[in-house]
Each structure stands twice: as C-alpha cells, then as structure tokens.
Amino acid sequence: MRTAYLDTSFCIAIAFGEPGAARLRRILAAHDRVLTSDLLLAEAFAAAAREGIEIELLRPALRAITLVLPSRSLDEEMGEALEFGRLRGADLWHVACALFVAGPARSDIAFLSRDATQRTVARRLGFSTP
C-alpha cells in the first residue's frame, strides 16, 4: 500500500486547477492511502472562500483523505523538523503530523507539497517528495 501525507499547497493546486495540476493529480492517484492534518481543511476552506469557490465543491475530494488527529503534543516532532530547516507555523505542523504517523517508517511515506522549503525539510527527514 502506497501512503502519502498531503500538504495544503498540493491539494489546493489540484482543486483550483493551477498550472501543473494534472501532473500533481497523477502523483496523488498513485497512492492508495492519503493522510493529512485537519489544518488542511481549515486552509482549504479559507482559500475557497477567498477565491469565491463553494466549499461544498471541495468536500468529495476531502472525504477521501484520512485525517491525522494526534492525541498528544507534537513538540518532539516539531523540534526534530526544525533541526533540518526553518518552517512557517502551518508548514511545521504538517511536517510534524507526517513525522507522527510515519514513526521510523518515513521512507515508506511520500510527503506531497508544492512548497520548496517544506519539501526540502521533509526530504532531509527521510520522506520521499515526488
């Protein structure tokens, strides 16, 4: 089973049909299981409202994603991620959530993001970043 952690930037690019969306859709479709933080929902809904897009149009795609809902603080994962580069708060949360679900099996999970800094940190942490 191929698993991916999905960052908001990747999801929004597909949902809004940004340049390169077809390639991103193929990358996403290659994964059997897609995980994300509920932060993606907030960011996607805010972006849709900002762009005048009905939130209901996003719901079918978002239902196919499994939410990561940590039951503890992710301060250890955040600290580890920051050892590999500086990240903005939301980006740090996504990387920390990916670390939380991956445990030692990081190479088994793809980290899908369009943000270059976030991808670099994820790659340095051991995730694949197609």
Position 40 scores a pLDDT of 92
Helix axes 89-102, 116-124, angle to 10 degrees: 30
Residue type, 38: D
Tokens of 123: 């790659």
Cβ–Cβ < 8 Å for 118, 94: yes
Residue type, 12: I
Domains of the chain, start order: 3-124 (3.40.50.1010)
pLDDT digits (tens, 9 = 90+) for 89-127: 999 999 999 999 999 999 999 999 999 999 999 999 999
pLDDT digits (tens, 9 = 90+) for 28-72: 999 999 999 999 999 999 999 998 988 888 888 788 899 999 999
